[in-house]
Structure 1
């Protein structure tokens, strides 16, 4: 658990610089904090174009992280854009006293627009192990090059997309390298040394960002944790736009009762296929559920115990691949759909269907993905804030096809040749929940299989591990069937620093007080005998 208590008052100059500047060749373990305040970050410190940056504040803070009181220097900075009309990148670095010599960058979420919490844990992080800052990592992150409106729902403000530099900072990942370079500049000045290892961790948009840094800057990070990555972002946009078309049809939207009915019946049909009934469908591939078994008499008059024909069509569309009948420049041709008929957690409707059908204007009670599409249409595609997103049909985009194709080159980060990252010694841990309702686990499996096809099975296994966690949803949002928690950071450390690959990893569910083996894909946990709440009672089956 990560708690952040009230920060201490800014310490006097004597305390802020209690550690003398380090001698050459002798890195300090305590930061020279006061000297950072107001420091200019030259444009030459960054490998991508900027007009430099400046530390806007630097102060010593004390907080409780993972149950431990941690003292660190927090430095906030702005990285100035090249385009004077573009917003700055706002970034933050936490520089701990008792530094362990390493650094970790956090990725963002949704449309970003805020700086991630530097005291937080990695995605699906363990509740019984310290967060990175409590391990005395330098932690750093940025807002990806724009600031969210205070009136917008969290991570759902896409208005920055009207500016090309801001769009590239976010979608292509340019802000990641700029923030990385500026942060390491400050680390050097604070401690007199560069980190011995630099890691990256992120989920969802942050998971895409994790894959971006491995693809574009293969020597910048020693190890990467990518959880539920939205790597083919343009492709998912087209899929979401198709769902908006389907769910906005009269009578098509399944209400809360129908969503619960579907979830309960899927679990009832498939829960025991792994050898034990525990509300978790461990092998979704073996679960074949026909939504037509829930059809109302004559296919009309939906109620709490049945689905209408229109609703069956909607849930089938959500769990089916969407293919577009035209070419886009990224080369992507489809989005695989979601495993809603394979045990997905329908108890978190905000991320999936939502509680209200898509409409114009888009309701805040509609699904997260529907709102994401609405922002994309308004600010990325048409750049018209008044545009009705329901009028864009991804099957027939008409005059918008050229723009969609161009955006695919920015948003689909689909380079699966990670050979240079592997040759540089980089290691990648890839995680996804089998019941994710916002980024499809099928999509991550597709990415993993493409990497294997590009590099070969053996070379891929030398630097990449992919795990699908049964019952886990998107970022443990709401009440997942399995609230995943695993110590991927320690596993990554051992792999990078000691050449010890992950082995016999365990994932826990602290909400339900149980553990399962973390099975490398395509493995899944099958019950053998013994305590059904213990990982030792399961084997990884294929």
Structure 2
């Protein structure tokens, strides 16, 4: 832990005890240094097992090369390192990881999370989730960046992030689902950074969305002193719980006549926007107050309830839409303690123009069509390789409401996949800071689920201690990872906000989020449960809105 973080940790511990939010200030960060990584000295370097706190059999740098890239309009020189971390079980795959080490290192490091089932090393030259489009990416800011494939390699022929075949190996499963690969990668990467620069980073951060957002919460829960700050966007933290809901929805959508084709999805989307758009005081195709939107899909019912074309919904399709936007509760206990998944906001302005993430363009079937929704395909992979470990098993034959002989295995997997520890006091006491983000129109990971986790933390720790280290923002109109053409493509410099909070103790104050798809449109980034309400003035300016409950 850095010396500046220790000072902040002491002050935050006092806040947790006394119920205050005062934080000791930190020294200003050093200016970017002229430190140049010893790239040649990394080639072939052995990574001792002893530098990692979790079991491995060590690792090795496979390649290290001087690289030049144009990033965010800047020419960036850096050393790109590829390395393998070796498993304990010889049958398990290696963890493949990469580190980018810039010239003029700023003495900070950032780990990226993955997505879906992982299986590939994330792009280390990319931005953080919902990151600013008008600011340099982290590597161009001279952060050392690193990440891994989470301990398995995706089949190149598979749909990206949708290969679950590794789930048949226990070590690979634990590396991915429990997050063991995260700590192994972090420890090995810091070893390489120290070796390259002959210095340790002053601050180490983590940023990820979806599975990466889940991984961000894992590191805060399991290794509270490993990272100084964390950005968790649209996190699939209760992975097993969501999978059960996805399986339930897959069964419903596979029923004859239940699947709404894309034209009907567009009808639903435009109807919801028309009904609820101006609840925030301005008609701008963004529903800023989703909790106030009470759209009834029966208003789109076809005459007699039969499917008479794209201008209406049949009774079976109304039932499917209602199921997707309603909680799914299972009538049996699982070891993680979770009892439900809250459903998706399809009736609160979710963008039906990204069908792959939501319904898809084809109904679930066996084998699962690649044009079905992402979640349906995720369910199929999980059933075949995590649950039954039978690649020939029909995922539509398994009823999440009555899993029969598979209940014991489901309960066991819940202890690995539901990362639901709300006690973040160790992370807070260590001086850690957490920024939590979600789009209100997310089609793949429910924002209601993230709100649930935040509420659990706030209930356990109390409002003031929670606010001392954690912020949660819901962005109206934004969907999953700004996919397709969302009504509002979130763009905010969360990394600078996090870095300032960690180094100086100054929490984000009146943040503003931009819409990357609509010119200069901005909105206030309101801390949950507030939302931006239009007052007066330019509807494209954040100054015309006020955060309200």
TM-score range, shorter chain: over 0.9
Among 531, 542, 547, the alignment partner of 1:540 is 547
Cα separation, 2, equivalents of 1:510 and 1:328: 41
1:389 to 376, 390, 395: 395
Partner of 1:178: 184
2:532 is matched with 525
Matches within 5 A, 1:30-69: 30-69=36-75
Q: Which residue of 1 aligns with 2:16?
A: none
Look up the SS of the partner of 2:346 in the other structure.
Answer: coil
Q: Does 1:91 align with 2:97?
A: yes
5+ residue gaps, structure 1? 1-26
* Equivalence for 2:138: 132
Corresponding residue number in structure 2 for 1:482:
488
Pick one of 418, 421, 428 that aligns with 2:427. Answer: 421
CA distance in 1, matches of 2:508, 2:71: 26
Q: Does 1:313 align with 2:299?
A: no
Asked whether the equivalents of residues 102 and 144 of structure 2 are also in contact (C-alpha less than 8 Å), the reply is yes
Assess, with a 3 A threshold, how the Cα gap between structure 1 residues 404 and 302 changes in structure 2: closer, same or farther.
farther
| 1:190 paired residue number | 196
Mapped contact 1:430–1:465 kept (Cα < 8 A) = yes
Q: Secondary structure at the match of 1:341?
A: helix
SS at match of 1:497: helix
- Residue in 1 that maps onto 2:111: 105
Q: Could you tell me the TM-score, scaled by structure 1's length? A: 0.95
- Look up the match of 2:213: 207
The corresponding residue for 2:507 is 501
TM-score by length of 2: 0.94
Q: How does 1:79-478 map to 2 (within 5 A)?
A: 79-478=85-484
Deviation, 1:302, is 3.7
8 Å contact from structure 1 (residues 28, 191) kept in 2: no
Check the 8 A contact 1:28/1:192 in 2, yes or no: no
Q: Deviations over 1:270-326 (max 9, x none)?
A: 000000000000000000000011111110024111100000000000000000000
Once the 2 structures are TM-superposed, how far is the Cα of residue 28 of structure 1 from its aligned partner? 6.8
Q: Secondary structure at the match of 1:70?
A: strand
Distance (Å, rounded) in 2 between the aligned partners of 1:28 and 1:279 = 48
Aligned-partner Cα distance in 1 for 2:135–2:53: 35
What is the rounded CA distance, in whole Å, between the counterparts of 2:350 and 2:149 in structure 1?
Answer: 31
> Do the aligned residues in 2 keep the contact of 1:516 with 1:534 (CA within 8 Å)?
yes
Measured in 2, the distance between the counterparts of 1:63 and 1:396 equals 53
Q: Which runs of 5+ in 2 are unaligned?
A: 1-32
Instruction: Report SS of the residue matched to 2:78.
Output: strand
2:69 aligns to what SS in structure 1? strand
**Contact 2:44-2:63 at 8 Å conserved across structures:** yes
Q: Deviations over 1:243-275 (max 9, x none)?
A: 011000000000111101100000000000000
Backbone CA RMSD of aligned residues: 0.7
SS at match of 1:225: strand
3-state SS in 2 of match to 1:539: strand
1:257–1:303 CA contact under 8 A, matched in 2: no
Tell me if structure 1 keeps the 8 A contact 2:34–2:103. Answer: no
Q: Distance in 2 between matches of 1:35 and 1:495?
A: 35
Distance 1:131 1:486 in 2: 12
1:478-524 per-residue CA deviation (whole Å, 9 max, x = no partner) reads 01000110010010011001111001100000211200000000110
SS at match of 1:104: strand
State the number of aligned residues.
Answer: 516
